[in-house]
Structure 1
Amino acid sequence: MLPQAQLQTHVDQHPYPLLFATISGAHLYGFPSPDSDFDLRGIHLLPVREVVGLVTGPETVEKSGFYDGLEIDLVTHDVKKFFGLLLKKNGYVLEQVLSPLIVQTSPVHQRLRELAGQCITRHHAHHYLGFAANQWKLFAKEDPPRVKPLLYVYRVLLTGIHLMRSGEVEANLVRLNETFRLPQLPELIERKLAGPEKGTLDEADLALHRREVERLTTQLEVAYAESKLPEVATAAAALNELLIEVRCGG
């Protein structure tokens, strides 16, 4: 059960109007620990005077800390910056727009959810391949290795493969594994759900996970090569019109 009221109170304190705020991170991915923080992501709207003048407002607002007993990490981008990210091979922003864990929404957010499919390209595979490789490097350096970064590796690889094959963004590892049926994942997820954020792994399991990550990386590369998704996003014109409408107060 999400602490909706407490999260909404934090969102209400944002210095700019928010077009949406959703939950990302471990809660979205389906494996929050008892001590996981809440990762809030969204779009803020800078007023016209902070866009057209010599002194402009912040494109990104970040605020982290403990609020009413909750650890919250809030990151929002101005609408123009966020729309630009949507038109690039950025899986993060797609997942944020489409997150089912919604703290605050608006008609603009609903429109973005409708346009999200037109922002997906086959080259989003590079985002997931790169993130998985970086997470594996971090995981491999740890002593002892932790469950959390390993689950992040599995999550991004399965999300990427699923996206290339279906054109659908699915960030929840539990739901993804209903399709992939990797036998090692339920136990890892259970350990993450039940244990502290710094839960660790046994050395004996590392060889198995290394082979699996290599296999899934190859699967994502093949899925990218065979994907029928567009080469480029097709939502640029619609996003441009929506940006003008939002900025001008339409």
Structure 2
Amino acid sequence: MDTINTQLLLIAQNQPYPLLFATISGSHLYGFPSADSDYDLRGVHILRLPDVIGLITGDETVECSQIQNDLQLDLVTHDVKKFFGLLLKKNGYVLEQLYSPLIVYTTPEHEELKQIAHGCITRFHAHHYQGFAQTQWRLFQKEKPPRVKPLLYVYRVLLTGIYLMQTGEVQANLVTLNQHFQLPQIPDLIACKLAGAEKSALTDSDLAFHQQEYQRLFQVLEEASNNSHLPDTPSAKDALHDLLVRVRLAREIPSGEERN
């Protein structure tokens, strides 16, 4: 794993723009990577002022898929302004990327952003997780035979959403989540995925059980949102604005110099 982390760090540092942070998302974050799972690297880059204020602008989003030394990588970074905007739009993906404990590259501003972003979490983030769960459930139903992977995603997003509504904390790891929720089917599903048997067929009784669980947890998430003590609207816009300005301007000051 140390070798992989070194490779990921080198890839992150070789991006065209300086980074605020880069973390690992996807199945590695969710707690059920297969042996051949690719690495989903997500983060925030910082466009310089000329790339923002000029007629020729920099890339708001950088995407890259590559295989390097047998390491399959999917990288996506957003410019700091775009990422902050997504935080204010009740986007669960960016929260999970920000708070991912699998950190490849970090800065002091990353730590500051994690503190500020608590003010971006609202009870309406439940809508994000409900929508994602519905999409994954449709995918699960369409595949013949149905695969375990989309089913695990269904459970993961529903439990992440419920936990967020109940605690205000972002937790995307299904293994960790299930220490709290204690769903007996989760360990077997993860074991099946990790064993490479994710295309194994499920019986009709299995399908009926998982459909009941999907509907039950979807309702639990709805009720958790209605009963949550989280605010209706984010309160962090001013703090995000201040951080954005400081981050942008700081990259324009040569090291060791001070702005008048």
Provide the TM-score with structure 2 as the length reference: 0.93
Deviations 1:29-48 (A, max 9, x none): 00001111000000001111
Aligned to 2:172: 171
Q: Is 1:94 matched up with 2:100?
A: no
Partner of 2:229: 228
- TM alignment of 1:16-35, pairs within 5 A: 16-35=17-36
Gapped runs of 5+ residues in structure 2?
252-260
Q: Which residue of 2 aligns with 1:189?
A: 190
In structure 1, the residue matched to 2:59 is 58
CA distance in 1, matches of 2:113, 2:12: 20
Quick one: distance in 1 between partners of 2:21 and 2:216? 37
TM alignment of 1:111-122, pairs within 5 A? 111-122=112-123
**Aligned twin of 1:83:** 84
Partner of 1:218: 219
Inter-partner Cα distance in structure 2 for 1:37 and 1:166: 31
Partner of 2:68: 67
Mapped to 2, the partners of 1:148 and 1:119 lie a distance apart of 30
- TM-aligned CA deviation for residue 194 of structure 1: 2.1
What percentage of aligned pairs have identical amino acids? 61
Write the distance in 1 (CA, Å) between the matches of 2:36 and 2:200. Answer: 15
Displacement after TM superposition at 1:202 (Å): 1.4
Per the TM alignment, residue 6 of structure 1 is displaced from its structure 2 partner at its CA by 1.1
**What's the counterpart of residue 208 of structure 1?**
209
Contact 1:191 1:199 in 2 (8 A): no
Cα displacement (A) at 1:12: 1.8
Q: Quick one: which amino acid aligns to residue 200 of structure 1?
A: S
Q: Match of 1:16, SS?
A: coil
CA contact (8 A) 1:10 1:67 kept: no
State the 4+ residue runs in structure 1 displaced beyond 2 angstroms.
198-201
Secondary structure of 1:248 counterpart: helix
Contact persistence 1:83–1:239 (CA under 8 A):
yes
- Between Structure 1 and Structure 2, whose CA radius of gyration is higher? 2
Q: Secondary structure of the residue that 2:162 maps to in structure 1?
A: helix
Say whether the 8 Å CA contact 2:123–2:232 is kept in structure 1: yes
Q: What residue number does 2:256 align with?
A: none
Name the counterpart of 1:237. Answer: 238
Q: Quote how far apart the aligned CAs of 1:96 are.
A: 0.5
Q: What's the C-alpha RMSD, in Å, of the aligned pairs?
A: 1.1
Write the letter of the residue equivalent to 1:202: L
